Chain A
Amino acid sequence: MNRIKLIIDGKTTEVPENTTLLKAAKTVGIDIPTLCYFELKDMNIENRPGGCRVCVVEVKGRRNLAPACNTMVAEGMEVYTHNIRVLNARRTVLELILSDHPAECLTCAKSGSCELQSMAQQLGVREIPYQGEQSKYRKDTSPAIIRDVDKCIMCRRCEMMCNDVQTVGALSAVNRGFMAVVAPAFEMNLEKSPCTYCGQCVSVCPTGALTEVDHSRNVINALADPTKTVVVQTAPAVRAALGEEFGLAPGTLVTGKMVAALRRLGFDYVFDTDFAADLTIMEEGTELLDRLTRYLKGDKDVKLPILTSCCPGWVNFFEHHFPEMRDIPSTAKSPQQMFGPIAKEYFAKKLGIDRRNMIVVSIMPCLAKKYECQRDEFKVNGDPDVNFSLSTRELAHLIKASNIDFNSLSADDFDNPLGESTGAAVIFGATGGVIEAACRTAYELYTGKKLLKVDFTELRGLENVRKATLDFDGLPINIGIAHGLGNARKLLEDIRDGKSQFHAIEIMACPGGCIGGGGQPFHHGDSEIIKQRASAIYREDAGKPIRKSHENPFILELYKDFLGKPCGEKSYNLLHTHYFDKSAGVFVEE
């Protein structure tokens, strides 16, 4: 590859050809401000529409200013990133953007983590000299995501995530000029679109244009109601990221502090979704083994590969985009939705209370979970198995609003019986974790032998699509893993076209898995943060005394005491579900 020499702010640097000025400047310690630009390294995610013009720089000999995110280096270029012409232009650009932005910072849900707000601070904007017409568009509230496009600055990051990365195609820029907005087809509400509620649009939105539906108030009200027993469950990925909201380094595990904080918030029982993840492995692993043994015996009706079904964004995706394949995924409910009926049908009865007097709250790294817990099939006579799902971000707000000094808390333990979990459950939070957990159990159940090494490192990592063959005592098991729905689509198309040789496939809707979920603290495109969260997850696994789901004593007791056997009649009724064809009639109303 050719090397290109250029001068930026008087400093000479040499970079490979086809490098942008933005990246070339970083090699000499110059950090050009950006707004619409977004990059998630190692995952092939880059947005550089060159639309906002905040990153403009002067290139000697060029008539107009050049957007650094979108201009490639050339031999002998002389670039100025902060002369008076550039600084004035940059501030004017921002003032113009702000002139069509509601000045609602005091009450905006994004305040404090808004990139437009920080850019205004960074560039020292103290007044908005331009006044003109302001965009007015209706607010669109779906079960998980709120669109308030008056706050949209047309950076197109959400469009890139929804189309290029996730291939969901719910959002597109529509209309033109001043009327342009990002919207679903025919400007229908998000609920009528093929949106999967993965929340990746929310996680990259620089402003408050896309935010989650906040259920914190409902939870506060439930906690204050003396007639209710309020139970909380926390997903594996939350403990690996919550600390970031309190200034701790990415990758800091805060499991014990989180439990202590939840107890102080007033939850009657602090339980762990990890317990339900162990349960998921028992059900899903049994289903996998059942399908596999029938397949090996020559049963032609059996469907392989089996696909995981823990991720509600992924479930929404195949219901909308691949409904003809909806008999392939495991029928096992997600851990969140397994926890619900166990809490309300088993634990509530043990306590001797009516299920309607028990409120189940989940803390999730996810926005699709908000939609999942509202699905009709997860209710009994209108009473949802899981009442409210809060994101990691919402939990952090709740802790801060409740005068809890998070960092000074000492570690607490989960309550029993629904708080005990194994290392297999905690790795659900990272891409590849569910299938690794399933293999730990499936191997031992299938071969009858003890697994010598429980770490299947070949299933870990951040490559878009990973393939590995595991040796089940002479039987090769082909595993596929995809994270991000665009990668999932590739695997699904292979299965549909009969090209796939996999026995089992894990799919997570979000890049990185749940640790990169739509409800996690904003990573602002720093993929190092996602890697740190993953390493925290694997650290927690390594430190657990029990690392295989089928060895969780409380799970074994639950089967003995209540459920019977995995995939038995009771388990089937409480812990399995079915899927719907949602592809038709989405857009056009009668």
Chain B
Amino acid sequence: MAKIKLSEKKIQELKDVCKTFHNDKGELINILHKAQSLFGYLPAELQEVIAKELNVSVAHVYGVVTFYSFFTMQPKGKHPVSICLGTACYVRGSEKVLEEFKRQLNIQVGQTTADGKFSLSCLRCVGACGLAPVVLVGEKVYGRVAPDGVSDIIAEYNI
């Protein structure tokens, strides 16, 4: 496991997150949610800090992180790409769109490109079924995406 040294400032931020939840071990999942939204992912050191603050074992924190698929220990890319595989998007061919992203970025779901620019994930329904199939890049929503539109989307961020 690679060592990524967290800065003192980041560690303090993380401790503050724990404190807003009163360092309550029952709030572990909420704290992990908050931490992941702050840091983008949950590296080992971050889990160690949380374990210490909540007075639980690191093994327990790791157990929770690996149980829920939402949590990730992989850093997200600068531009996280999410493809909706909800029913509406799926029946309108989002799987083919996903395959095209995998092919062009040369990564699997849950991975990040070597240059750190893109990461790939799937999600279920963003509430925009009228635009199916839907792709998110960061906060931006792309509707009615076809496989041959994938390269244009990637190009937008590849400058």
Interface residues of A (CB under 8 A from B): 163, 168-176, 183-188, 193-194, 587-590
Find out whether the CB atom of A184 lies under 8 angstroms from the CB atom of B44.
no
- Among residues 75 to 90 in chain B, which have CB atoms less than 8 Å away from a CB atom of chain A? none
Most chain A Cβ neighbours within 10 Å, of B47, B59, B60: B59
Find out whether the CB atom of A169 lies under 8 angstroms from the CB atom of B58.
yes
User: What residues on A are CB-neighbors of B3 within 8 Å?
Assistant: 588-590
**Residue in B48, B60, B66 whose beta carbon sits within 8 Å of that of A587 in the complex:** B48
Most chain B Cβ neighbours within 10 Å, of A171, A184, A185, A194: A185
Give B32-70 as 1s and 0s: 1 = Cβ < 8 Å from A's Cβ atoms: 000000000000110110000000111111110011000
Find out whether the CB atom of B67 lies under 8 angstroms from the CB atom of A174.
yes
Find out whether the CB atom of B59 lies under 8 angstroms from the CB atom of A193.
yes
> Is B159 in the interface zone, CB < 8 Å from A?
no
Find out whether the CB atom of B58 lies under 8 angstroms from the CB atom of A163.
no
**Residue in A172, A175, A589, A590 whose beta carbon sits within 8 Å of that of B59 in the complex:** A172
Most chain B Cβ neighbours within 10 Å, of A174, A183, A184: A174
> Is B1 in the interface zone, CB < 8 Å from A?
yes
User: What residues on B are CB-neighbors of A187 within 8 Å?
Assistant: 62
A-B pairs with the 3 shortest C-beta distances? A169-B57, A172-B59, A172-B63
Q: How many CB-defined contacts (below 8 Å) exist between A and B?
A: 56
User: What residues on A are CB-neighbors of B59 within 8 Å?
Assistant: 169-172, 174, 183-185, 193
Find out whether the CB atom of A169 lies under 8 angstroms from the CB atom of B44.
no
User: What residues on B are CB-neighbors of A589 within 8 Å?
Assistant: 1, 3
Find out whether the CB atom of B62 lies under 8 angstroms from the CB atom of A185.
yes
9 more contacts with CB within 8 A, not counting A174-B62, A194-B57, are A169-B59, A170-B59, A171-B59, A176-B67, A185-B44, A185-B57, A185-B62, A587-B44, A590-B3
Provided the pairs A176-B66, A176-B67 are in contact, do residues A587 and B58 lie with their beta carbons within 8 angstroms? yes
Contact-residue size bin, chain B (C-beta under 8 Å from the other chain): 10 to 19
**Residue in B44, B57, B61, B62 whose beta carbon sits within 8 Å of that of A163 in the complex:** B57
User: What residues on B are CB-neighbors of A174 within 8 Å?
Assistant: 59, 62-63, 66-67
Q: How far is the CA of A185 from the CA of B50 in the complex (A)?
A: 13
Provided the pairs A186-B44, A589-B1, A589-B3 are in contact, do residues A175 and B66 lie with their beta carbons within 8 angstroms? yes
Most chain B Cβ neighbours within 10 Å, of A172, A175, A188: A172
User: What residues on B are CB-neighbors of A590 within 8 Å?
Assistant: 3
The chain B residue with its CB closest to the CB of A193 is B59
Interface CB pairs A-B, < 8 A, 23: A168-B57, A170-B57, A170-B59, A172-B57, A172-B60, A172-B62, A173-B63, A174-B62, A174-B67, A175-B66, A183-B59, A184-B59, A185-B57, A185-B59, A186-B1, A186-B44, A187-B62, A193-B59, A587-B58, A588-B1, A588-B45, A588-B48, A589-B1
Find out whether the CB atom of A185 lies under 8 angstroms from the CB atom of B66.
no
User: What residues on A are CB-neighbors of B67 within 8 Å?
Assistant: 173-176
Closest Cβ of chain A to B5, distance in Å, is: 10
- The A interface is mostly helix, strand or loop, or mixed, namely loop
The chain B residue with its CB closest to the CB of A585 is B3
**Residue in A169, A173, A587 whose beta carbon sits within 8 Å of that of B1 in the complex:** A587
Q: How far is the CA of A174 from the CA of B44 in the complex (A)?
A: 14
Q: How far is the CA of A175 from the CA of B63 in the complex (A)?
A: 7
User: What residues on B are CB-neighbors of A168 within 8 Å?
Assistant: 57
The chain A residue with its CB closest to the CB of B65 is A174
- Among residues 2 to 39 in chain B, which have CB atoms less than 8 Å away from a CB atom of chain A? 3
User: What residues on A are CB-neighbors of B44 within 8 Å?
Assistant: 185-186, 587-588
Provided the pairs A176-B67, A186-B1, A589-B3 are in contact, do residues A163 and B48 lie with their beta carbons within 8 angstroms? no
- Among residues 60 to 119 in chain B, which have CB atoms less than 8 Å away from a CB atom of chain A? 60-63, 66-67
Q: How far is the CA of A575 from the CA of B60 in the complex (A)?
A: 38
Q: How far is the CA of A187 from the CA of B73 in the complex (A)?
A: 13
User: What residues on B are CB-neighbors of A588 within 8 Å?
Assistant: 1, 3, 44-45, 48
Find out whether the CB atom of B47 lies under 8 angstroms from the CB atom of A185.
yes
Closest Cβ of chain A to B70, distance in Å, is: 12
User: What residues on B are CB-neighbors of A175 within 8 Å?
Assistant: 66-67
Q: How far is the CA of A399 from the CA of B45 in the complex (A)?
A: 48
User: What residues on B are CB-neighbors of A183 within 8 Å?
Assistant: 59
Q: How far is the CA of A169 from the CA of B47 in the complex (A)?
A: 14
The chain A residue with its CB closest to the CB of B63 is A172
Q: How far is the CA of A187 from the CA of B44 in the complex (A)?
A: 11
Q: How far is the CA of A151 from the CA of B158 in the complex (A)?
A: 49
